[in-house]
Structure 1
Amino acid sequence: MTSSFLVLASTQTEKQRRIELSGTDLWIMDRIDNVFVYPANLNVNRFIEALGRTLCLWPFIAGRFLLLEGDRYVIEMSDNPIPVSVVENNDLLKWPFDSKVLVDLRYHTLEPFIDEVPIHKLLCGSSEEPLVRFKFTRLVKSDEFVMGISWVHVLGDAASCLRFLTTISRLYQQLQPLEPFPIFERRVWTDSTVNRSLLNIMKPLSDSEPAEQMFQALIDEQMTHDQLNLHFSSEQLIILRT
């Protein structure tokens, strides 16, 4: 059984405000796909409510990705709905992977648990395409709940995605969201403000490689490196954050 929802911000936000993206934001063909497994049932209705309230604080996430004048990329605040799908899985006995943290760029074993944002549609701007998608899979036989998120990298890096999810989590738990609240303005560099004498010490720019070579290196690392997982208690995390 599958259910689908389109979640809007609880209240209207700054519609039509535009944020121009800088060149460092334009990893258009990259995406952050994460999966979280919970050993208990989740209240989907409460999650939808928490997501709607979070979008009021993060209107950028519900925006449209636009290409203007052929070379300017912006995200326009538009209160686009965020898709949430819920699937019941009666086939799996339990979550099929032993590792608590799974990184898989080669075999795509997590794909069934993610509703992937079709990033190929974004190359020329795609005003109606949501930039975030959620998918919940309930493993009926083990009573586990799997949450998958697909997040377009133009919204921000993994730290931004984590802050967004943390806000949802706190509102789901009926806690106050953590300050400072997000701002979305970018520093857009122009030729008149660039000091080119510094380029030779900026390794990501001076020693950049083709995208295909970079992605192949990431895949090869999974074959040549062992994964190390570190577990921190709640008390230890509090100490680390202070």
Structure 2
Amino acid sequence: MVSSSSSFMVSPLPPTGNNRRIELAGFDLWTHAHIDNVFVYPSEINIDQFKEALSRTLSLWPLVDGHVRAEDNEHYFIEMSDNPIPVTLVVNNALNKWPRDSSVIVELSENVLSPYVDGIRVIDLADNSQDEPLVRLKLTHIVQSGEWVLGVSWSHILGDAAANLHFLNTLSCYYQQIEPLGPSPIFERRLWREDEADESFLSLMKQQRDAKPMAEIMKTFMDDQQTYDPVNLQFSGEQLARLRTLAGGSSVSVQDALS
């Protein structure tokens, strides 16, 4: 047998969403965007321990196991409905080891990581009648090397890479049976009203002033993937803290400082 695949669902324990709703601001409605990450571990991931850690993490993050809801095609919400999260498990007997050498891979045009990620179904997510989860996880066991691969697909509606990192750090802590570092997540959104807009700042916001159609943006983005080679930089924790201080301190996240 080359490989086998199965799946299971993990629910928050205890459930804490209680169908609460949080309204999304317009800039949250990136239904087409998702953050995909792959992590390779040299030793076994205990499935029962992983399930328990994910259950506890979802309990702390009820927004993640919710669904997107729309009213009047104008107001969009995440309903914290305490839904189970799908996890795919693949046992791979074909590979003798993890096939990539680089520890940092940004090769979007080649889709080299797609076999290890169960990607968010963005079409279903944009359809209010569908109950597409906002996070999908995939575990791959490379039997010959004993390696385990964790793939995570995170809808950008939930937040940026900083929120994604915080969620995954919580999962890691619970798996290691240690308490996650604070602060605990707070689920709030700043809803901007039209009468609050100050157009005098528009000239400073190039991404808004020079907005292009999505098709044109994606073509340019994918062309860049073919034309340029990535430069991967690694920062220590101390360097990241210093960078964040220079960028504005506690008023910005580490991810914002890197951006």
| TM-score (norm: length of structure 2) | 0.87
Are the aligned partners of 1:33 and 1:151 in contact in 2 as well (CA < 8 Å)? yes
Map 1:85-104 to 2 at 5 A: 85-104=88-107
Are the aligned partners of 1:66 and 1:127 in contact in 2 as well (CA < 8 Å)? no
In structure 1, how many angstroms separate the alpha carbons of the residues matched to 2:41 and 2:50?
14
Are the aligned partners of 1:38 and 1:145 in contact in 2 as well (CA < 8 Å)? yes
What residue is the counterpart of 1:4 in the other structure? Answer: 7
Q: 2:217 aligns with which of 191, 214, 218?
A: 214
Q: Spell out, residue by residue over 1:26-63, the C-alpha distance to the aligned partner (whole angstroms, 9 max, x if none).
A: 11111111111111111121111111111111100011
Asked if 1:148 corresponds to 2:133, the answer is: no
Are the aligned partners of 2:124 and 2:131 in contact in 1 as well (CA < 8 Å)? no
Q: 1:52 aligns with which of 49, 55, 64?
A: 55
Map 1:84-233 to 2 at 5 A: 84-126=87-129, 128-231=131-234
What residue is the counterpart of 1:237 in the other structure? Answer: 237
Shift of 1:109: 1.9
In structure 2, how many angstroms separate the alpha carbons of the residues matched to 1:20 and 1:80?
18
Are the aligned partners of 1:33 and 1:149 in contact in 2 as well (CA < 8 Å)? yes
| Range moving further from structure 2, 127-136 or 70-79 | 127-136
Q: Which runs of 5+ in 2 are unaligned?
A: 243-259
Q: Spell out, residue by residue over 1:80-114, the C-alpha distance to the aligned partner (whole angstroms, 9 max, x if none).
A: 11011111001111111121111122121211111
Q: Which runs of 5+ in 1 are unaligned?
A: none
Are the aligned partners of 2:19 and 2:82 in contact in 1 as well (CA < 8 Å)? no
In structure 2, how many angstroms separate the alpha carbons of the residues matched to 1:131 and 1:73?
14
In structure 2, how many angstroms separate the alpha carbons of the residues matched to 1:227 and 1:99?
12
| TM-score (norm: length of structure 1) | 0.92
Q: 1:17 aligns with which of 17, 20, 31?
A: 20
Q: 1:40 aligns with which of 43, 49, 60?
A: 43
| Range moving further from structure 2, 109-118 or 75-84 | 109-118
In structure 2, how many angstroms separate the alpha carbons of the residues matched to 1:101 and 1:58?
27
> How high is the sequence identity, in percent, across the aligned residues?
48
Q: Which amino acid aligns with 1:215?
A: M
Are the aligned partners of 2:17 and 2:63 in contact in 1 as well (CA < 8 Å)? no
Q: Which amino acid aligns with 1:188?
A: L
Shift of 1:231: 4.4
Give the number of equivalent residue pairs. 239
Shift of 1:197: 2.5
Shift of 1:180: 0.9
